[in-house]
Structure 1
Amino acid sequence: MTMSQNHSNRQWHNWLVYDIGDHFLAKYSPNYKGTLYDLGAGESPYKDFFLQHADQYIAVDWAGSFHDTKADIAADLNKPLPIDSEVADTVVSLSVLEHLCEPQTMLNEAFRILKPGGGMVLQVPWQWWIHEAPFDFFRYTPYGLKYLFEKAGFVDVTVEPQSGFFTMWILKGNYFSQRFIRGPRPLRALVKAALLPFWYLGQKLAPLLDKLDKNWALETSGYYVTAKKP
Structure 2
Amino acid sequence: MLAQTPFHVNWLVERLHREVVTDSVMTHARGRLLDVGCGSRPFLQLLADHSTRAFGVEIDRQRYGRVRAESGERLVAETESNEDVPQPDAWADGLRLPFDDGIFETVVSFQVLEHVPKPSVLMAEMCRVLTPGGTLVLTAPHIWGIHEEPHDYFRFTPFGLRHLAESAGLTVEQVTPLAGYWVTHAARFCQYLRQFEKIGLHPLTRPLMAISQLTCMLLDRVHPVYSDAWNHLLIARRTVANV
TM-score by length of 2: 0.83
Deviates more, 1:137-146 or 1:207-216: 207-216
User: Which residue matches 1:56?
Assistant: 53
Matching residue of 2:173: 157
Question: Contact conserved, 2:182 with 2:224, CA < 8 A, in 1?
Answer: no
Residue of structure 2 in register with 1:128 after alignment? 144
For 1:49, give the aligned amino acid: L
After superposition, residues 51-200 of structure 1 pair within 5 angstroms as 51-64=48-61, 70-77=87-94, 79-183=95-199, 188=200, 191-200=201-210
Q: Alignment partner of 1:200: what SS?
A: helix
Task: Give distance in 2, aligned partners of 1:61 and 1:87.
Answer: 18
1:209 equivalent in alignment to 2:219: yes
1:13 aligns with 2:30: no
Question: Structure 1: which 5+ residue stretches go unaligned?
Answer: none
Matched position secondary structure for 1:182: helix
Identity, % of aligned pairs? 29
How far off is 1:63 after superposition?
A: 2.5
Cα deviation, residue 214, structure 1: 4.7
4+ runs of 1 displaced by more than 4 Å? none
Give yes or no for contact 1:166–1:207 (8 Å, CA) kept in 2: yes
- The code of the aligned residue for 1:195 comes to T
State the distance in 1 between where 2:28 and 2:173 align. 13
- Which range moved further: 193-202 or 164-173? 193-202
Tell me how far apart the structure 1 counterparts of residues 197 and 172 of structure 2 sit (CA, whole Å).
Answer: 45
Q: Does the residue aligned with 1:71 lie in a helix, a strand or coil? A: coil
- Unmatched segments (≥5 aa) in structure 2: 63-84
The structural deviation recorded for 1:25 is: 1.3
How many Å separate the matches in 2 of 1:85 and 1:94? 21
Number of equivalent positions: 214
Distance of aligned partners of 1:62 and 1:11 in 2 relative to their CA distance in 1, 3 Å threshold: farther
DSSP 3-state at the match of 1:167? helix
Q: In the alignment, what sits opposite 1:224?
A: 233
Alignment check: 8 A CA contact 1:149 1:157 kept = no
| Alignment partner, residue 22 of structure 1 | 18
Q: CA deviation at 1:69?
A: 7.5
Secondary structure at 1:179's aligned position in 2?
helix
Tell me the alpha carbon deviations over residues 15-66 of structure 1, each in whole angstroms, 9 at most, x when there is no partner: 112210121012212211111100111111100111111111111012336x
- SS of residue paired to 1:180: helix
**Deviation of 1:70 (Å):** 1.8
